[in-house]
Chains A and B, each alone.
Chain A
Amino acid sequence: MNFSPFREAGMKRALRDAGLAALVAAGLFVPLVGLRTEAVGHGVALSWHPWPVAGLVVAVFLGRLVWLMLPRRPAPRLPSAALARAGRFVAPVLLVVALAWPALPGVGRYQLDLGVLVLTYVMLGWGLNIVVGLAGLLDLGYVAFYAVGAYSFAILAQFLGLGFWVCLPISGLVAACFGVALGFPVLRLRGDYLAIVTLAFGEIIRIVLLNWTSLTGGPNGIGGIPRPTLFGLAFTPAGGPGSFADFFGIAPSITQRFVFLYYVILGLALLTNAVTLRIRRLPLGRAWEALREDEIACRALGIDTTVTRLTAFAMGAGFGGLAGCFFATRQGFISPDSFTFSESAIVLAIVVLGGLGSQLGVALAALVMIGGFELARDLAEYRMVVFGLALVVIMVVRPRGLVGTRTPSVTLGARRAIGAGFVAQGRG
């Protein structure tokens, strides 16, 4: 075989690259795989397993070498036209499935609960989508409004004895006020600074909830939160006068309450979606998107960017508060542990994964992330590995999110999707 100078240089470079990868792998796998603690007597002892580490390092070296030496093939292009045509069916199909979910065969308590969980995150995603996706404001503390909604309902129920339906709009309004309260100090902040301050806001709310024991019960939380009723009909498990089962003359069962909860969250999520879609076609929605694209141009066109930002924060927070109120009534008990930063991170991941402020994208992303995570329970300790791998693959294949296009809100002629390359990511 005749090695030309280029091929030799390529071979040397591939070997060096693979060697470096193997070194990194060694550094990672020695503590992760090579060292294991075993219980010995009353304490633990450290045991050293060299062979799995060696095997992994060799596998990484060879794998990287093979990957680099393979001839470069052009990246496979997804058939975008066919995908776009199929895409138009996805939303209606999802809606029908969501509406009929409790009635589908094989859907029991567990699946209903999963449905409620997914829909809660879909609603949170749609709420945060207003702030991050449409207005381009990087909010890392969204869980604060979720918590405010939940706790305002719990506190009102505890001290004033109000029911779910009365407290629902109040929670939303209180959360919206907190959204405005967050918006004011961060008016001049952009990008990373905005992200850090919103993250701090989320943590502040959690710590206040943890420490203001007289109002919130501190780490013990608030329990005994009333369940929602259907026009005054309670869903008591035992049935009895004034209950749902009694009114309709059917046998009472626990499932009825779950089905009712499912439809409540479905209704709330669809409300969020309807309001967002409507506002997107109004001047306010266009102002949000213009703010994301170029804030200086917005100001030069006479748009009050302060008001625009504050309304984005307020609306997003309001929907988060509604979701929080639902969360409180579903669990019956809330504590600050449910409102940590990782919740904010998950909702933000859903919005970013959805892509470009698209409502359908956020719904799909919530389905994939939350639904997929739950369904992968069978994989036990490999669940996180598979999950992380899936996220990496999605980000490599679709870096701007699952839905890679933006649809204009108003057109003169045919409505054609705008590719991700033109749409700004928003710098807050």
Chain B
Amino acid sequence: MRFGGLQAMQGVSFVSEAGRITAVIGPNGAGKTTLFNCITGFYRPSEGAITLRHPGGREYRLDRMAGHRITARAGVARTFQNIRLFGGMTALENLLVAQHNALHRAGGGPLGALLGLSRFRAAEAAAIARARDWLVRINLLDRADAPAGSLPYGAQRRLEIARAMCTQPVLLCLDEPAAGLNPRESDELGVLLQSIRAEGCSILLIEHDMRVVMRLSDHVVVLDHGRRIAEGPPELVRADPHVVAAYLGEPDVEEVLA
């Protein structure tokens, strides 16, 4: 992925398996969020291909699709590093907005909604029920009608994940979900992500918190300066000298000699 003269990513190639949690780690500026933006359609890659294969076998070329179609058709959802909730809308409304396309499809399109057809009302009731289930799951049912901007930080993070899940994705991309969470909240997050994986949704995760990465992920990809420097199960990657060098730096010549 090239921005003018700056090559943000080069030759990054990996496979994220279905039903697994894949973590993408690396120092700041390694190109992780750029990678996410390419996958979710916010950037168009200068070269290369990104292919998503659904459980039924259907394939989508993500690098060729418009941003909103990647979520609507291919089933890829994401969260953001700096939380992007709809602050002036309630938690429930946030979760309902996520089900916009599902509501239109099941309810007979915008016309069905306008006319108040019974199939639309049924679809709306189902959407509210799904939102309610997620609110129970992330422990926010008592604050369903509070504006999202008034929720504490940890609750906002959980709400954003729940909102992404309400689009019923096949792949969930999380950009630093554990940032700013204390250890207890990180553990709760881990439990939530494991339950999401158990339901069949694959997870792609950018994370700096090594505890979360080591505990949760099935597969780890390490980026540095726009290139992939290691890939494999977490224990192997942790011991890889290239990874250690990338995070901790190379020892100085004087230190080695001393």
Closest to B145 in A: A411
Q: Check B100–A286 contact: CB distance below 8 A.
A: yes
- Given known A283-B113, A422-B150, contact A294–B84 (CB-CB < 8 A): yes
Q: Check A282–B86 contact: CB distance below 8 A.
A: no
CB distance from B111 to the nearest CB of A (A): 11
Cβ-neighbour of A282 out of B72, B93, B114, B147 (below 8 A) = B114
Residues of B within 8 A of A64 (CB): none
Residues of B within 8 A of A301 (CB): 68, 71, 77, 97-98, 100, 163-164, 167
Give the complex CA separation of A27 and B86 in angstroms: 47
A296-324 CB mask vs B (1 if < 8 Å, else 0) is 11111111110000000000000000000
- Given known A301-B163, A412-B144, A418-B147, contact A278–B114 (CB-CB < 8 A): yes
CB distance from B106 to the nearest CB of A (A): 11
User: Interface segment, A8-16, A209-217, A222-230, A402-410?
Assistant: A402-410
- Given known A301-B163, A410-B92, A411-B92, contact A286–B97 (CB-CB < 8 A): yes
B86-98 CB mask vs A (1 if < 8 Å, else 0) is 1111101100111
B130 interface residue, CB < 8 Å from A?
A: no
Residues of A within 8 A of B89 (CB): 286, 289-290, 293, 408, 418
A 393-428 contacts with B by CB, 8 A: 406, 408-416, 418-419, 421-424
B246 interface residue, CB < 8 Å from A?
A: no
Cβ-neighbour of A410 out of B40, B78, B128, B164 (below 8 A) = B128
Give the complex CA separation of A314 and B128 in angstroms: 29
CB distance from A422 to the nearest CB of B (A): 4
Q: Check A412–B97 contact: CB distance below 8 A.
A: no
Give the complex CA separation of A415 and B141 in angstroms: 15
- Given known A279-B114, A283-B104, contact A293–B72 (CB-CB < 8 A): no
Q: Check A286–B78 contact: CB distance below 8 A.
A: no
Q: Check B86–A293 contact: CB distance below 8 A.
A: yes
Cβ-neighbour of B80 out of A297, A302, A415, A419 (below 8 A) = A297
B19 interface residue, CB < 8 Å from A?
A: no
Most buried by B among A297, A305, A411, A414: A297
Residues of B within 8 A of A414 (CB): 145
Residues of B within 8 A of A346 (CB): none
A287 interface residue, CB < 8 Å from B?
A: yes
B192 interface residue, CB < 8 Å from A?
A: no
Closest to B120 in A: A282
Cβ-neighbour of A290 out of B67, B77, B86, B150 (below 8 A) = B86
Q: Check A293–B88 contact: CB distance below 8 A.
A: yes
Give the complex CA separation of A289 and B94 in angstroms: 11
- Given known A286-B97, A290-B97, A297-B84, contact A302–B144 (CB-CB < 8 A): no
A284 interface residue, CB < 8 Å from B?
A: yes
Q: Check A408–B85 contact: CB distance below 8 A.
A: no
Most buried by B among A283, A304, A416, A423: A283
CB distance from B116 to the nearest CB of A (A): 9
Residues of A within 8 A of B41 (CB): 299
B197 interface residue, CB < 8 Å from A?
A: no
Give the complex CA separation of A287 and B98 in angstroms: 9
Closest to A406 in B: B88
Give the complex CA separation of A284 and B97 in angstroms: 9
Q: Check A294–B86 contact: CB distance below 8 A.
A: yes
Give the complex CA separation of A410 and B89 in angstroms: 10
Q: Check B72–A302 contact: CB distance below 8 A.
A: yes
Q: Check A302–B88 contact: CB distance below 8 A.
A: no
Q: Check B145–A286 contact: CB distance below 8 A.
A: no
B55-82 CB mask vs A (1 if < 8 Å, else 0) is 0000000000001110110000110100
B225 interface residue, CB < 8 Å from A?
A: no
Residues of B within 8 A of A304 (CB): 68, 72
Closest to A303 in B: B100
Q: Check B67–A418 contact: CB distance below 8 A.
A: no
Give the complex CA separation of A419 and B150 in angstroms: 10
B190 interface residue, CB < 8 Å from A?
A: no
Residues of A within 8 A of B149 (CB): 421-422
Q: Check B100–A413 contact: CB distance below 8 A.
A: no
Give the complex CA separation of A418 and B88 in angstroms: 7
Cβ-neighbour of A413 out of B72, B87, B104, B145 (below 8 A) = B145
- For this complex, 11 residue pairs linking A to B, each with C-beta atoms less than 8 Å apart, are A289-B88, A293-B89, A294-B87, A296-B42, A296-B80, A300-B78, A302-B72, A412-B132, A419-B147, A422-B147, A423-B87
List A residues at the B interface (Cβ < 8 Å).
278-279, 282-284, 286-287, 289-290, 293-294, 296-305, 406, 408-416, 418-419, 421-424
Other than the known A279-B114, A301-B163, what 12 A-B pairs have Cβ atoms closer than 8 Å?
A284-B110, A290-B97, A296-B42, A299-B41, A300-B71, A301-B164, A409-B93, A415-B145, A416-B146, A422-B88, A423-B87, A424-B87
Which 9 pairs across A and B sit closest by C-beta, in order of nearness? A423-B88, A302-B71, A302-B72, A422-B149, A293-B86, A297-B84, A422-B147, A418-B147, A282-B113
